[in-house]
């Protein structure tokens, strides 16, 4: 009976933002290093791999981490910096949508390890706001390409995680927790505004501070986030 109950739950559909995820099986964002073209564009290997994931029966497929800006990366990364990315991403979305899964794109900036600054506080306000805008523009491009939503990567020491966990900026984005989580909350709300209520916004997040982990989850929900991916 226990196994039967678990199987039934795994097979149960979930309606989110007016879209039906037909079961609770998720293909998480998994980078396949070495397959991205030098220009950071979709290749035939991406098409084959994600079509196979979609055909495998999962209800939700989340694309590997894609950078919202073309910065020096320590791995092969798909870039979403300009509209030139849209044709390849559309082919990828179409390949997945030949099957039932709903599909999201995980969007990120790698963070300080690929930047000239040594701390979030050292990033100029103009650059900080430029990075903010890059996330919004990338989300709009993902929608234009036909994806069902995005996942903001705010875990594993990525840029958004660094802003939330360890940030002593002296503006409204630094210092107390409410300031540090402000960027993430604003991105969620503005992506929903720009892309519509039917566009799913998930967040992958983590924090060794358990109290702040819970407060981050609450902030994501309050801002209009749709899925919590705790990592």
Instruction: Give the tens place of pLDDT for each residue, 21-59.
Output: 999 999 999 987 665 566 788 989 899 999 999 999 999
Output the six-digit token pair for 179. 């300031």
Residue 153 tokens read as: 């990567």
Q: How far apart are CA 32 and CA 45, in angstroms?
A: 9
Instruction: Scan for tokens 């430029």, then name that residue.
Output: 130
H-type alpha helices, the chain: 2-11, 44-55, 86-96, 125-144, 159-165, 177-180, 182-195, 210-223
Residue 121 confidence (pLDDT) above 70:
yes
Partner residues linked to 66 by β-bridges:
78, 107
Q: 145 Cβ partners below 8 Å, 6+ apart?
A: 85, 86, 89, 90, 92, 93
Compute φ and ψ for 178, nearest 5 degrees. Answer: -60, -35
Tokens encoding 10: 């795994």
Q: In this structure, what token pair is assigned to residue 93?
A: 């979305």
Report the candidate in 188, 192, 183 with the shortest Cα–Cα distance to residue 203: 188
**Which of 160, 156, 151, 161 lies closest to 63, judged by CA?**
151
Least confident of 10-19, 29-38, 200-209, 221-230: 29-38
- Tell me: the pLDDT tens digits for 172-198? 999 999 999 999 999 999 999 999 999
Task: Read off the pLDDT of each residue in 91-111 and give the average, rounded to a whole number.
Answer: 96
| Entry pTM | 0.94
Beta bridge partners of 60: 26, 102
Residue 148 DSSP SS3: coil
Spatial separation of the C-alpha atoms in residues 205 and 202, rounded to whole Å: 10
């Amino acid at each position: 009976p226990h196994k039967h109950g678990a199987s039934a739950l795994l097979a149960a559909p979930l309606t989110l933002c007016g879209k039906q995820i037909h079961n609770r099986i998720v293909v998480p964002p998994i980078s396949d290093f070495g397959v991205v073209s030098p220009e950071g564009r979709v290749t035939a290997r991406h098409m084959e791999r994600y079509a196979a994931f979609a055909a495998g029966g999962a209800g939700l497929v989340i694309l590997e981490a894609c950078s919202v800006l073309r910065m020096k990366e320590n791995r092969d990364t798909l870039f979403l910096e300009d509209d030139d990315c849209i044709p390849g991403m559309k082919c990828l979305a179409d390949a997945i949508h030949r099957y039932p899964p709903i599909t999201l794109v995980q969007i990120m900036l790698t963070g300080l390890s690929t930047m000239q600054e040594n701390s979030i506080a050292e990033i100029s306000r103009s650059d900080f706001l430029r990075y903010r805008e890059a996330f919004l523009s990338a989300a709009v491009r993902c929608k234009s390409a036909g994806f069902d939503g995005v996942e903001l990567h705010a875990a594993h020491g990525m840029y958004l995680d660094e802003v939330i966990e360890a940030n002593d900026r002296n503006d409204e984005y630094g210092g107390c927790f409410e300031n540090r989580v402000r960027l993430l909350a604003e991105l969620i709300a503005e992506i929903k505004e720009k892309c519509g209520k039917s566009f799913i916004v998930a967040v992958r997040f983590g924090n060794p501070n358990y109290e702040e982990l819970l407060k981050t989850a609450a902030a994501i929900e309050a801002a209009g986030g749709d899925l919590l991916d705790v990592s």
